[in-house]
Structure 1
Amino acid sequence: MTRAISRGRRAVLAGLAAGVSAVACASQSPASPRAVRIVVDPGHTPAQGGALGVRGIREVLYNDRLAAQLVQALTLAGFDVALTRGPTENVSLEARAQYANARQADLFLSIHHDSAQLQYLEKVTAGDLDAYRTTRPIAGYSIFVSQRNPRFAQSYAFAQVLGEEMRKLGRAPTLHHAEPIAGESRELLAPDIGIYRFDDLVVLRQTVMPAVLLEAGVIVDPADEGYVSDPGNQARMVHAVVVAVRRYVMTAGKTAGRM
């Protein structure tokens, strides 16, 4: 049965993250300055659209929209940002990780929108479209890291600041992925800020830089879908991610040219 991580283990993870970051910075000599490289990964593809939301819209469209806004904001903030795929491209999970590795990215962020297991869903219609809706409220963001990522400690460090900034938006994280049911049972590392461990996520375990997956909201929950579809809330979520990236870079002691 899944259980929340103990305070002691969380302290160890935080300390490990700080230690690894300090060693990494100390071991690299200054080079010609360059912007911090970030790869943003819009989850799913046109061919495999992901979750079907309460409005009958596939998850991939939500992911593409938020990822595009995020790329623009991170670029304006001075980061060197690239997408793993365009809105019309069908790119495999392995190819996304390979792209980020070849680009020598400093940070990888995969953008998704969430659903729930079928036992908590009912099939409905949205106009003439099939759709799914939760039978009970399931709302909030969640963040995933993989211990199979070679920079797990740094991944967790970024997940922490991302969770803190998302929490400041006034939304609680969704904890339904920790339920001991088929398809869930994920280890909940930080229940207060919604961090889960999911070791087998391909884009997290095959990337060689710190990597995190963000589920921005639950699109099968009518209220939460309304939240993530609101342009003002999208802007606030994008701002939270940008602030989290800045905090991570500063905390890790990583400045342009020293990543």
Structure 2
Amino acid sequence: MRRCELIRVLGGIVAGLRPRRLAVVAIAVFALLPIEVSDAGWLPDLFKTSSKHAKSPKRAKSARQSTRPAKLARHRAQPKHRATRLAALGPVALPPSVLKPAAARCDPSTFRIVLDVGHTAESEGAISARNVTEFAFNLRLARLIEERLKAEGFAETRLLLTEGRARPSLFKRVAAANNLHADLLLSIHHDSVPNKMLEEWEFEGKKSHFSDRFSGYSVFVSRDNPEFKTSLLFAELVAREMKAQGLQYAEQYSQAIMGRYQHPLLNKETGVYSYDELIVLRKTSMPSVLLEAGSIINRDEELKMDSPERRNIISSGVASAVKEFCEPRWALLGPL
């Protein structure tokens, strides 16, 4: 469809809209158009079309006839390929109900996301049903996410590997992330269950533990993080990407059976929880999210988490979430 035809169609659509909603539609149109738009004078005409005090058809016709020669003269005097940048519009005041928390416009080549590899070689986290350490799962997935993000143009992606025992290493990784002046932090983990839920079995001649009771991913944020709203925004994007890939979130964290591991569920549709006391989320100065990619204590899900297919699904989902986080246009509009 040529631009002039598109303009006429849009004019017909918005003719009956109230002014407040019209402003939102106009912003949406500009967001979807290329950065440079030729003959951008159609926007004022669009607003005039929907005015409550529009002229009657008869008067409008005579007005057009009287002004047409002058308009033609001005049009001919102007360059053929006039370009107007979106910045020329200046700030636009949108209704509070329309605005959403949004990341600032970012340049992927300079945007720095830190991928925190959960746990350390000295403190390896959970042990899977087949006696593989969580740290090994975390490192392998984090490296693939790093590779995927760099391939998407996020050249400043940093893999954060920390040494030492459990609690001291948490403060080390927080300090390292803050010193890197990161724009975003994603901590990579794999899930287990409280010890009281574990059952014994034998794998390859070695005693091990499992729990097939729960499975799924989960996403955590801390309400004490100084960038909580932005953290929650990114958490929602990650969780929605996981769900879009057909993955289910772990529902047990909202259940009393989890005891001290129970956490408030912030979004029952996507599986975003709050974990306010977690140091890596609470003490970092940038928006921070923790992803439990799946359960490695569940025997069936451990096999899936060990497969290249599942790792590709998760790394692609994270990369898509980061790209959407950095794209400002999507956040301009709420429900109309």
Which residue, out of 139, 142, 148, partners 1:73?
148
Which residue, out of 245, 251, 254, partners 1:169?
245
Mark the CA change 1:33 to 1:225 in structure 2 (over 3 Å): closer, same or farther. Answer: closer
Which one-letter code corresponds to 1:39 in the other structure? V
Instruction: Confirm or deny that 1:216 pairs with 2:298.
Output: no
Which one-letter code corresponds to 1:233 in the other structure? R
2:261 maps to what in 1?
184
Instruction: Confirm or deny that 1:44 pairs with 2:127.
Output: no
Following TM superposition, the consecutive aligned residue runs of length 4 or more in structure 1 with deviations greater than 6 angstroms are none
CA apart distance, 1:251:
3.8
3-state SS of the aligned residue for 1:53?
coil
Provide, for residues 173-213 of structure 1, a one-character-per-residue CA deviation record: whole Å limited to 9, x for no partner.
01111111323220011122110000011111111111000
3-state SS of the aligned residue for 2:135?
helix
Structure with the largest fraction of helix: 2
3-state SS of the aligned residue for 1:18?
coil
The separation in 2 between residues aligned to 1:33 and 1:78, in whole angstroms, is: 6
Instruction: Confirm or deny that 1:243 pairs with 2:317.
Output: no
Equivalences for 1:6-25 in 2 at 5 Å? 18-19=100-101, 21=102, 25=104
Provide, for residues 122-180 of structure 1, a one-character-per-residue CA deviation record: whole Å limited to 9, x for no partner.
1223224442211x431100000001100000000000010000011211101111111
Query: Could you tell me the percent identity over the aligned residues?
Result: 34
The answer (yes or no) to whether the contact 1:37–1:107 under 8 Å persists in 2 is yes
The separation in 2 between residues aligned to 1:77 and 1:243, in whole angstroms, is: 9
Report how many residues are paired: 230
Mark the CA change 1:253 to 1:75 in structure 2 (over 3 Å): closer, same or farther. Answer: same
Structure with the largest fraction of strand: 1
1:4 maps to what in 2?
none
Point out where structure 1 has 5 or more consecutive residues left out of the alignment: 1-14, 255-259
Mark the CA change 1:40 to 1:130 in structure 2 (over 3 Å): closer, same or farther. Answer: farther
The separation in 1 between residues aligned to 2:217 and 2:108, in whole angstroms, is: 35
Which one-letter code corresponds to 2:147 in the other structure? Q
CA apart distance, 1:253:
8.2
Relative contact order (alpha carbons < 8 A, sep ≥ 6): 1 or 2 greater? 1
The separation in 2 between residues aligned to 1:38 and 1:129, in whole angstroms, is: 40
Query: How high is the TM-score relative to the length of structure 1?
Result: 0.82
The separation in 1 between residues aligned to 2:114 and 2:299, in whole angstroms, is: 30
The answer (yes or no) to whether the contact 1:53–1:59 under 8 Å persists in 2 is yes
Mark the CA change 1:112 to 1:17 in structure 2 (over 3 Å): closer, same or farther. Answer: farther
3-state SS of the aligned residue for 1:215?
strand
The separation in 1 between residues aligned to 2:108 and 2:201, in whole angstroms, is: 54
The answer (yes or no) to whether the contact 1:56–1:125 under 8 Å persists in 2 is no
Mark the CA change 1:223 to 1:252 in structure 2 (over 3 Å): closer, same or farther. Answer: farther
The separation in 2 between residues aligned to 1:156 and 1:101, in whole angstroms, is: 19
The separation in 1 between residues aligned to 2:164 and 2:158, in whole angstroms, is: 16
| Cα RMSD for the two superposed structures | 2.4
Mark the CA change 1:215 to 1:17 in structure 2 (over 3 Å): closer, same or farther. Answer: farther
Query: How high is the TM-score relative to the length of structure 2?
Result: 0.64
The separation in 1 between residues aligned to 2:132 and 2:201, in whole angstroms, is: 12
Larger radius of gyration: 2
CA apart distance, 1:16:
11
Equivalences for 1:105-254 in 2 at 5 Å? 105-134=182-211, 136-181=212-257, 182-251=259-328
The answer (yes or no) to whether the contact 1:199–1:205 under 8 Å persists in 2 is yes
2:85 maps to what in 1?
none
3-state SS of the aligned residue for 1:124?
strand
